[in-house]
Copies of this chain bind each other. A is one copy, B any other.
Amino acid sequence: MASKDRIQRLKDETRINILEASIDIAKEEGWSALSMRKIADKIEYTAPVIYEYFKNKEAILTELTRQGYLQLGKLMEEARDKYTDPAEQLEAMWLAYWNFAFAEKELYQVMYGVEVNCCALESSCSVMKAPSDMLWDKIEEIIPEEKRTEEYVDTKYYTFWSVVHGLISINMTRQQTPEGINKQVLKDAISGIISSMR
């Protein structure tokens, strides 16, 4: 009867090995290089074995996503409970979110679909820089002279870009976002950042 337990323990271990092997491959070669056969190689089995533990490749990614949210939730709770002031708590939670994204980069990528693949073209391409420069120049123009350092403009530029691109990403991955709210958030954020620059 105890052998049943032993076997179950080995099965659990293999399941964990599959998940760990997947992350390892993602760390070494990126998510796009992940394949069932590579996972099988790493856990020293052949590919069909994996299908006894996961329905298919997507199920592996889904499980990793689940574990990522679990881990993120715990980190945010811990961060929150270090403070009592709500504003401090909120900032700590966002910082925990931020830290998690970079400490567990691969998990964050699979959670939010941040692929690093196709945009790896040289940034010196002038046509790519044109929109950036236009925005940068305009931001510089708005900022009053006494504040106008390159770093300050950079900061405002990245703030702008982040909020807009972030909103867009969210709207593209999450389709159930309340329809009217997005443009309102965008406009609020824009005017908010603008007034903060002055």
Q: Tell me the interface secondary structure of chain A in the complex.
A: helix
Within 8 A of B (CB), among A80-139: 80, 86-87, 89-91, 93-95, 97-98, 101-102, 105, 108-119, 121, 123, 125, 127-128, 130-131, 134-135, 138-139
CB distance from A18 to the nearest CB of B (A): 17
Confirm or deny: A3 has a beta carbon within 8 angstroms of a beta carbon on chain B.
no
Interface size on A, residues (CB 8 A): 88
Copies per assembly: 2
Interface with B: A8-16, A39-47, A171-179, which one?
A171-179
How far is B196's CA from A123's CA once the two chains are assembled, in angstroms? 35
Taking CB atoms, residues of chain B closer than 8 Å to A101 are: 168
B114–A113 contact, CB under 8 A?
A: yes
Q: Taking the complex as formed, is A51 at the interface, i.e. its CB lies under 8 A from any CB of chain B?
A: no
